[in-house]
């Protein structure tokens, strides 16, 4: 019998993840959604979340929004009032300020293209800083990527439609 990998929606598993982290344990989850693209690909990459003892700028945090939804985004700035400005790598603007008690855990390891990685090292450091500096220009990058994607794949889709 072939084993299939089942991916549970983080909204359904959120309470379990939150409970695990609150007990001081780490948990591994599969990333869903595209807000952390290009670093993480939805339903392909995984992250290891650990309890958030100390939160630093550029950490990837797992937090609960005011509406109860669970989000995996990066800390862009720690404000003087102790709140955090957070955004996904694929987001064009930050979320409303996040309070410390909303942050449940931080990413301490991730698997990308099947390779285990730590959120540290020169390549990671360069990616984070450059991508953060590009935030005001991301909409141009996203639009360019979309146009390129549509040009490449739109022609293939049209060819398939004509041959059918």
pLDDT digit of tens for each residue in the chain (164 aa)? Answer: 454 555 555 567 888 899 999 999 999 999 988 899 889 999 999 999 999 989 999 999 999 999 999 999 999 999 999 999 999 998 888 999 999 999 999 999 999 888 999 999 899 999 999 988 888 877 777 777 777 777 777 655 444 444 44
The pLDDT of residue 73: 97
CB 79, CB 27: distance < 8 Å: no
The pLDDT of residue 60: 98
The pLDDT of residue 157: 46
Where are the domains positioned within the chain?
A: 10-133, 137-164
CB 90, CB 134: distance < 8 Å: no
Beta-carbon contacts of residue 116 (< 8 Å; ≥ 6 apart): 109, 110
The pLDDT of residue 11: 63
The CA distance from 88 to 72, in Å, is: 7
The pLDDT of residue 4: 54
CATH topology of domain 10-133: Umud Fragment, subunit A (2.10.109)
Residues comprising the chain, all counted? 164
């Amino acid at each position: 019998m072939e084993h299939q990998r089942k991916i549970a929606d983080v909204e359904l598993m959120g309470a379990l993840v939150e409970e695990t982290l609150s007990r001081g344990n780490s948990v591994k989850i599969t990333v869903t959604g595209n807000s952390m693209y290009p670093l993480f690909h939805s339903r392909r990459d995984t992250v290891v979340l650990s309890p958030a003892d100390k939160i630093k700028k550029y950490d990837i945090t797992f937090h609960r929004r005011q509406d109860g939804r669970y989000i995996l985004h990066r800390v862009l700035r720690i404000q003087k009032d102790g709140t955090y400005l957070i955004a996904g790598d694929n987001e064009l603007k930050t979320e409303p300020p996040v309070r410390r008690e909303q942050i449940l855990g931080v990413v301490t390891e991730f698997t990308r293209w099947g390779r285990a990685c730590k959120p540290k090292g020169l390549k990671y450091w360069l990616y984070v800083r450059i991508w953060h500096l590009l935030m005001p220009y991301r909409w141009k990058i996203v639009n360019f990527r979309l146009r390129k994607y549509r040009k490449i794949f739109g022609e293939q889709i049209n060819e398939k439609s004509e041959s059918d």
